[in-house]
Amino acid sequence: ASGVSAMSARVVKKGGSKGVNLLRVATSGGALNIRQSANEKGAKVGSAPNGVLLEVSEDGDGWTRVKFGGVEGWACAQYLTPYEEPNEAG
Whether 37 and 45 have beta carbons less than 8 Å apart is answered as no
Nearest partner of 57 among 18, 27, 6, judged by Cα: 18
Task: Give residue-wise pLDDT tens across range 26-66.
Answer: 999 999 999 999 999 999 999 999 999 999 999 989 999 99
DSSP 16: S
Over pLDDT 90: what percentage of the chain? 68
Nearest partner of 22 among 62, 68, 61, 63, judged by Cα: 68
Whether 82 and 50 have beta carbons less than 8 Å apart is answered as no
- Quote the pTM value: 0.74
Residue 12, phi then psi, degrees to nearest 5? -110, 130
